[in-house]
Amino acid sequence: MEDVLDLYAQPYDAKKPVVCMDETNKQLISEFREPIPIRPGQPTRYDYQYRREGVCNLFMFFEPLKGWREVIIKERRTKKEWVLCLKQLLETHYKEAEVVRIVLDNLNTHDPAAFYELFDPAEAKCLLDRLEFHNTPKHASWLNMVEIEFSVLTRQCLRQRISSLQHLQTEVATGAHERNKRCCTVDWHFTTVDARVKLKRLYPSYLE
Could you tell me which residue, 42 or 82, shows the higher pLDDT? Answer: 82
Task: Please give the torsion angle defined by the CA atoms of residues 66, 126, 103 and 176, in that order, rounded to the nearest 10 degrees.
Answer: 40
Residue 87 CA: distances (Å) to CA of 11, 41, 72, 119: 25, 48, 12, 11
Res 53 pLDDT > 90: no
For residue 195, the model assigns a pLDDT of: 84
- 18-31 and 100-104 as β-strands: parallel, antiparallel, unpaired? parallel
**Domain 2-202, CATH class in plain words:** alpha beta
For residue 50, the model assigns a pLDDT of: 67
Segment 61-85 shows an average pLDDT of 95
Direct distance between the N- and C-terminal alpha carbons of the chain, in angstroms, rounded to an integer: 23
Res 42 pLDDT > 90: no
| Stretch among 69-78, 89-98, 195-204 having the lowest mean pLDDT | 195-204
For residue 72, the model assigns a pLDDT of: 95
Could you tell me which residue, 32 or 79, shows the higher pLDDT? Answer: 79
**What does pLDDT average to over the chain?**
89
- Residue 52 CB-half CA count within 13 A: 5
What does the pLDDT look like over 159-203, one tens digit per residue?
Answer: 888 888 999 999 999 999 999 999 999 999 988 888 888 888 777
- 97 with 15: CB under 8 angstroms? yes
Res 207 pLDDT > 70: no
For residue 43, the model assigns a pLDDT of: 73
> What are the beta bridge partners of residue 31?
50
Segment 40-47 shows an average pLDDT of 71
Q: Distance between CA 56 and CA 206 in Å, rounded?
A: 46
Tell me if residue 131 falls in helix, strand or coil: strand
User: Phi then psi for 18, rounded to 5 degrees?
Assistant: -100, 120
For residue 126, the model assigns a pLDDT of: 96
